[in-house]
Amino acid sequence: MITASELAELEDQRDTYKSHSLMLGRVGAMVSDFCEENETVEAGVARLLALYHDLKAQYNWDQLESINNKNDSLQ
């Protein structure tokens, strides 16, 4: 028989799994939206990473994090 603490732990694991699944789904949708017509996902991700590294090189990382945090709080 399963104990209450084991059940609680399993429920926590389930909630974490659901959260991660939703996050991965959102990332997949963003990558799909970012990909240009007839572009492979790999090429889209490579282009997205290149853009990320360009932005990181051009701007202060702390400023980007601050902007990202503000955007997250608005959603």
pLDDT digit string, tens, across residues 17-37: 888 888 878 877 877 777 777
Q: What is the mean pLDDT of residues 59-71?
A: 71
Record the tokens describing residue 59, joined without a space: 């701007």
Calpha distance 65→35 (Å, rounded)? 24
Directed axis angle between helix 61-74 and helix 41-58, to 10°?
A: 120
| Res. 4: pLDDT tops 70 | yes
| Res. 61: pLDDT tops 70 | no
Length of the chain: 75
**Domain boundaries, given as residue ranges, for the chain:** 4-74
Work out the pLDDT band at 75, boundaries 50, 70, 90. Answer: low
The CA-atom distances, in angstroms, between 57 and each of 18, 30, 47, 70 are 34, 22, 15, 21
Instruction: Return mean pLDDT, the chain.
Output: 80
| Res. 6: pLDDT tops 80 | yes
| Pairs from 60-63 (Cβ < 8 Å, separation ≥ 24) | none
